[in-house]
Amino acid sequence: MDLKVLRNLSYGVYLVTALDGMRPCGCVANSIMQISSRPATVAVSINKENYTHSLISRHGYFAVTLLAQDTDPGLIGTFGFQSARTANKFDGLDFTFEEGAPVPANVGCGWFSCQVTGSYDAGTHTVFFARVTDGAPRPGEPMTYSYYHKVIKGKSPKAAPTYQPEEEPAPAGKVWKCGICGYIYEGDTPFEQLPDSYTCPLCRQPKTVFKAE
């Protein structure tokens, strides 16, 4: 059995957002799909260790923002590689309340709000089934998971259903890799000559968390 075949499944990249009281929280997800059209129903797989998982389980409401190719990859760093237990991921982000969930304003190529109608225990993850209660497209090309990996050079958080260790062979020669999110620096300026103010474009952690491999 060669599970690398599962890497050829196609996904988008999404923010799944929910409320902790009045505090907006959220995480990154890729395993989201429509499962019926009348009424519009979706399924979302969320790792049980994600703080957002506990919010959805408790309240039954969440929203999905569909990231676009031109979405700031820093949002993926903030929402995908930090925890709402220690970070306010919406800091500096405009958002609205939509049907019981926070929705970042002007981000990505659309959003929809959801009310949970059921769930399935998949071991490490829960699949939530939800009726779509509102939503609207925004202009933009959807960011696919493949685009995120190949063009943005992003990695999968360990909590992702699709996470597999050692996703790619190490490139030949010395490379500088973010110790938080795995981003590999590929700029023209030698990494050592970057200013101390350099931060990872994906997860916004400082230059000091990069390691040479």
Contacting residue, 32, 55, 114, 178, with its own copies by CB under 8 A: 32
For residue 160, give the nearest of 63, 60, 44 by alpha carbon: 44
> Which residues 5-24 are close enough to bind its own copies by CB under 8 A?
5-12
Residue 159 tokens, joined: 């909590």
Rule CB under 8 A: is residue 115 a binding residue for its own copies? no
User: With CB under 8 A as the contact rule, which of the stretches 31-39, 71-79, 85-93, 171-179 interacts with its own copies?
Assistant: 31-39
Rule CB under 8 A: is residue 148 a binding residue for its own copies? no
Nearest to its own copies of 62, 176 (CB atom): 62
Locate tokens 């395993």: which residue? 31
> Which residues 157-196 are close enough to bind its own copies by CB under 8 A?
160-164
Nearest to its own copies of 8, 86 (CB atom): 8
Contact 45, 9 (CB under 8 A): no
Chain centroid offset of residue 136 CA:
20
Rule CB under 8 A: is residue 40 a binding residue for its own copies? yes
Rule CB under 8 A: is residue 45 a binding residue for its own copies? yes
b/e sequence 140-162, b meaning 16+ C-beta within 10 Å: bebbbbebbbeebbbbbbebbbe
Rule CB under 8 A: is residue 54 a binding residue for its own copies? no
Q: Count of residues binding its own copies (CB under 8 A)? A: 55
Question: How many helices and strands, by DSSP H and E, does the chain display?
Answer: 3, 11
Contact 35, 44 (CB under 8 A): no
Q: How far is the CB of 158 from its own copies (least distance, A)?
A: 10
Round to whole Å and give the CA distance between 151 and 136. Answer: 27
Residues at the interface with its own copies (CB under 8 A): 1-12, 30-43, 45, 66, 109-112, 118, 120, 122-125, 127, 129, 132-137, 142, 144-146, 160-164
